[in-house]
Amino acid sequence: MTEKTKEVIYDEVLEVLDKLRPFLQRDGGDVDLVDVEDGIVKLKLMGACGSCPSSTITLKAGIERALVEEVEGIIEVVQVF
């Protein structure tokens, strides 16, 4: 695994989130990238996503899966409030 700077990883995470954002916005939600630290992405779910009972599934099965697959070094996604 190659060593990447935090800035490069942050930018790559934003690119993936920008691909996913239209699907979240279609349902009245959105996502905000709070931080990336030690392979853990911290996200804030907003709008309808923030209060949706399926938000955990969206976060783990959707967003986390995409980020782990597409951004080297990402190991987990957590929600912050």
The CATH number covering residue 53 comes to 3.30.300.130
pLDDT tens digits for range 26-40 = 999 999 999 999 999
Per-position b or e across 70-81, b if 16+ CB within 10 A of its CB: ebebbeebebee
Residues (pLDDT < 70) of the chain are: 1-3
Q: What is the domain count for the chain? A: 1
Give me the DSSP letters along 7-34.
HHHHHHHHHHHHHHHHHHHHTTEEEEEE
The whole model's pTM is what? 0.90
Question: What pLDDT is recorded for position 3?
Answer: 64
Q: Which domain holds residue 18?
A: 2-79
Question: Quick check: 71 and 37 in contact, CB under 8 A?
Answer: no
